[in-house]
Amino acid sequence: MKDEESKRPYRSAAWFSKLDKDGFIHRSWMRGWPRDVFDGRPVIGICNTWSELTPCNAHFRELADWVKRGVWEAGGFPVEFPVTSLGETNMRPTTMLFRNLVSMDVEESIRANPIDGVVLLCGCDKTTPALIMGAASCDVPALVVSGGPMLNGKFRGEDIGSGTHVWKFSESVRAGEMTLADFMDAEACMSRSNGHCMTMGTASTMASMVEALGMGMPSNAAIPAADSRRYALAHVAGRRIVDMVREDLRMSKILTRAAFENAIRTNAAIGGSTNAIVHLLALAGRVGVKLELDDFDKLGHDLPLLVDLMPSGRFLMEDFYYAGGLPAVLREMGPLIHGDALTVNGKTIAENVKDAPCWNREVIRTLDKPLKKKAGIAVLRGNLCPDGAVIKPSAATPKLMKHRGRAVVFKSIEEFKARIDDPKLDIDETCVMVLQGCGPRGYPGMPEVGNMPLPAKILKRGITDMVRISDARMSGTAYGTVVLHTSPESSVGGPLALVKDGDWIELDVVKRRLHLDVSDVELTRRRAAWKAPKRDYDRGWARLYIEHVEQAHRGADLDFLVGASGAGVPRESH
C-alpha cells in the first residue's frame, strides 16, 4: 500500500507536518535528515533494549540496523530509541520488579514522541512482556523482533542448556558428583554466542508467545541469534511495519481473546515457562481481554507436549529451529488453535503455517506420538491457595504429583540458604519444603527462587526431586515438582504465611488440590496472631511497586496500569 492510499495523516504529522514554530523545532533538532523524510511518511520507532548489562540483548544495535534497512526500503523513516533494559542474570533483587517500570518507559516513550508504528526488539526474559505491554497500552501498530536464542551449549561432547544445566551441575557439585573445577569449566561452554537462553526457558517461551499471539513474523521464535536468517527476518520486519502503519493494523486487532487462547495452548504444546502465565495475564489486562488464571488450566491442561526441549526434554532451540521451529508446531496443532487469528504480516496464523515443514520428528512430535500426553499448566486450589497456585506437570516427577508430606518452612530465601545444608535440619525426601516472603510485594518482585535446591544430605543419596511450595516464580529453565505463584502471597497474609514446621500438606495435581491439613480454628488463631513483615523499601520505584502491584493470579501488573490510554497526542511542548 502507498501512503496516498491510506488517505489519512499519520500520528507523526502532528509534529513534523506543521509549518510553524513548533514544526520548525520538531524538524530542525532532528538534524542531518533531508527535508523529504518529514513529508508525512510513516515514522517507525525501533524500541531497543540493547545493553551490555543485558548480555542476551548485546547484539541489538546490529539487529536494529537491519530493521532500519527494511523501514527505509518500504518508504518509512526509522528512529531508534532506548528504553531501560532488563538483564536476568545481573539485576537485583529480580528483573520482575522492573517489568512494569519498563512497560511504562515504553508506553510513555511511544506516546510522547512522533511515532506511527514501532518495532520492539526483545530478548532476555522480561524485555518481551515489558515492551509488548507498554506498546499495547498505546495501541499503535507494533511488531516484535526477538533477538534469537544462543547456539547450543557444548561441554565435553554433551549439549548443555542455559539455566537447566546450571541447576543440574550445581546440584551435582553439592552431591559430590562433580568437582568445582569442572563446574567452572562449564561456564564458558554454556554461553557460546549472542542470544538469549537456548532452552525452552522464559525467553524462548515468550518469543514463542510472540509468534503464537501473531505479534511476530513466522519463525521469529527459534532462529538462532547467530544465524544470518535472524537478520533477514529483522530486515523483512522493518519493511512490514511500514505497511502495518498504512493499513492501521494496530495491536488491538491482533491481541484478541482468540490470540491469547492460541498462546496458552501453544505454551502447553512447547512445554513453556510458567512465567508466561503472569506475562499473558498482565498483557491481556492492558488490551481489555478478559483472561483468568483458570483459563490456563481449562485451555491447556490436556494438550500434548509436542517438543522435546529442555527443561522438559532433551534438545535445544537451535535443534528446534532446524526441525521446523514454531510454525511446524502450530501446523501440527491444527484445529487446536484458532486458525483465523490475524498476525502482523496481515495473514492468519493458519495461512502462515499451512505448508510449514517438519524436518525432525524427534524434536517436534506429532499429535498422536507426543512426548507427553498432557503437558499444560495445572492450576491448584485449596485452603493454602484460595486464589490459585500453579505447577508445570511436564517438568515435575510423576510420582510426586500426589503427595502428603510434613512441612519444613523457611521464612525467607536468606533463611533457606543459611539452613538448607545444616546437617541438623530435620528434613527427609518425603517432606514438603515451604518458602515464604517471595511474592510480588514481599520480596519485592516475585523472584525466580521457587525451585529451591534440595538439601545436600538428600542429594547425596541420589534423590533429585521433592515437593516445594512458594509464592515465588521459577526460571523457565528449571524443573521439579514445584508449586509456584501461591496466591494471595504470604506477605499480605495469605494462608502460606500461616504454615508452620510440622504441619501436613497434601498435593494432588490430578484433583487440582493443595491443602494445608490444619483445622480452621487453628488457622483462624494463627491469622489473628500474624504480623505483616517489615517493609525494606520506603522510597522510589520499589515503594510505588509495593503499594500498587496486584497479586500473581492477576498478572502482577500495577493496578493503575490495567487498561490502555491509547496514543492520543497531548499538548505541544513549547
Residues lying near ligand FES in the complex (CB under 6 A) are found at 56, 88-89, 124-125, 162, 196-197, 201, 203
Q: What share of the chain is helix, strand, coil (3-state, %, to 5)?
A: 40, 15, 45
> In angstroms, rounded to a whole number, what is the distance separating the alpha carbons of residues 545 and 441?
8
Least Å distance between CB 59 and ligand FES?
12
With beta carbons less than 8 A apart as the criterion, state whether 445 and 557 touch: no
Measured from the CB atom, the residue of 201 and 370 that comes closer to ligand FES is 201
Least Å distance between CB 46 and ligand FES?
20
Q: Helices 257-270 & 202-213, crossing angle to 10 degrees?
A: 140
Least Å distance between CB 95 and ligand FES?
9
Measured from the CB atom, the residue of 174 and 196 that comes closer to ligand FES is 196
| Cell output for 208 | 514463542
Least Å distance between CB 124 and ligand FES?
3
Measured from the CB atom, the residue of 191 and 345 that comes closer to ligand FES is 191
Least Å distance between CB 494 and ligand FES?
29
Q: Is 309 helix (H, G, I), strand (E, B) or coil?
A: strand
| Cell output for 230 | 535472524
Least Å distance between CB 199 and ligand FES?
8
Looking at residue 452, what DSSP letter applies? Answer: P
Residue 484 CA from chain centroid, whole number: 15
Measured from the CB atom, the residue of 194 and 345 that comes closer to ligand FES is 194
Measured from the CB atom, the residue of 216 and 494 that comes closer to ligand FES is 216
With beta carbons less than 8 A apart as the criterion, state whether 141 and 233 touch: no
Query: In this structure, which amino acid lies at residue 63?
Result: L
Least Å distance between CB 214 and ligand FES?
22
| Cell output for 212 | 503464537
Least Å distance between CB 201 and ligand FES?
6
Q: What is the DSSP string of 487-519?
A: SS-GGGT-GGGG--TT-EEEEETTTTEEEE-S-
Least Å distance between CB 313 and ligand FES?
18
Measured from the CB atom, the residue of 56 and 377 that comes closer to ligand FES is 56
Query: In this structure, which amino acid lies at residue 116?
Result: D
Query: In this structure, which amino acid lies at residue 254?
Result: I
> In angstroms, rounded to a whole number, what is the distance separating the alpha carbons of residues 564 and 445?
23
With beta carbons less than 8 A apart as the criterion, state whether 213 and 287 touch: no
Pairing of strands 378-380, 467-470: unpaired
Least Å distance between CB 540 and ligand FES?
25
Question: Which residues, including other chains, have CB under 8 Å from residue 143's CB and lie 6 or more apart?
Answer: 117, 118, 119, 120, 215, 216, 217, 237, 240, 241, 244, 344
Element holding 117 (H helix, E strand)? strand 117-122
Least Å distance between CB 127 and ligand FES?
8
| Cell output for 464 | 533429585
User: What values do phi and psi take at 216, rounded to 5?
Assistant: -130, 165
Measured from the CB atom, the residue of 162 and 491 that comes closer to ligand FES is 162
Least Å distance between CB 332 and ligand FES?
26
Least Å distance between CB 545 and ligand FES?
21
> In angstroms, rounded to a whole number, what is the distance separating the alpha carbons of residues 492 and 548?
13
With beta carbons less than 8 A apart as the criterion, state whether 306 and 323 touch: no
Tell me which residue of 520, 471, 536, 460 sits closest to 497, measured CA to CA: 471
With beta carbons less than 8 A apart as the criterion, state whether 209 and 279 touch: yes
Measured from the CB atom, the residue of 164 and 436 that comes closer to ligand FES is 164
Radius of gyration of the chain (CA): 24
Measured from the CB atom, the residue of 121 and 197 that comes closer to ligand FES is 197
Measured from the CB atom, the residue of 137 and 205 that comes closer to ligand FES is 205
